[in-house]
């Protein structure tokens, strides 16, 4: 998962989005962490005197909150109970 996502992001067209559904909280945590890092403008180590990274976000997390199944969906499909959908949208290059 963590190996596949960066490759997926590379292949995205500008404005394109990656949607990931995770079924376990551990899985969701790594997706969330990765998306958060990509959405940060500066990823320099804490305490760096100057910004030496890319200095811009790769895209945005949209929507900010994960999408969870509705009550009805959970009743119809109990396995969907722990599912979370997160979407990362690649920034338009300018
Ligand atoms: Zn930086």
Residue 31 has a pLDDT of 96
Q: How many whole angstroms from 48 Cα to the centroid of ligand 1?
A: 8
Q: What is the pTM of this model?
A: 0.83
CA of residue 40 to ligand 1 center, whole Å: 9
Query: Would you state the pLDDT for residue 79?
Result: 86
Cα 81 to middle of ligand 1, angstroms: 38
| Nearby residues for ligand 1 (ion, Cβ within 5 Å) | 42, 44, 51, 53
Cα angle value 67/59/61 (rounded, 5°): 15
CA separation for the pair 89, 20 (Å, rounded): 12
Task: Write down the pLDDT at residue 94.
Answer: 52
User: In this predicted model, what pLDDT tens digit does every residue of 30-87 receive, in sequence order?
Assistant: 999 999 999 998 888 888 898 888 788 999 999 999 999 999 999 999 988 999 999 9
**Residue spans of beta strands (DSSP E) within 1-94:** 17-22, 59-61, 84-90
**Which domains are assigned to the chain?**
4-44+52-90 (3.40.50.150)
- The CA distances from residue 67 to 18, 19, 28, 63, in Å, are 14, 10, 12, 8
């Amino acid at each position: 998962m963590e190996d596949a996502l960066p490759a997926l992001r590379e292949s995205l067209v500008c404005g394109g989005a990656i949607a990931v559904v995770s079924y376990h909280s551990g899985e969701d945590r790594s997706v969330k962490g990765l998306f958060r890092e990509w959405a940060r403008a500066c990823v320099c180590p804490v305490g760096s005197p100057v910004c030496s990274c890319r200095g811009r976000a790769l895209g945005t997390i949209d929507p900010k909150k994960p999408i969870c199944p509705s009550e009805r969906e959970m009743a119809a499909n109990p396995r969907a109970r722990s599912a979370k959908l997160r979407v990362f949208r690649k920034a338009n290059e300018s």
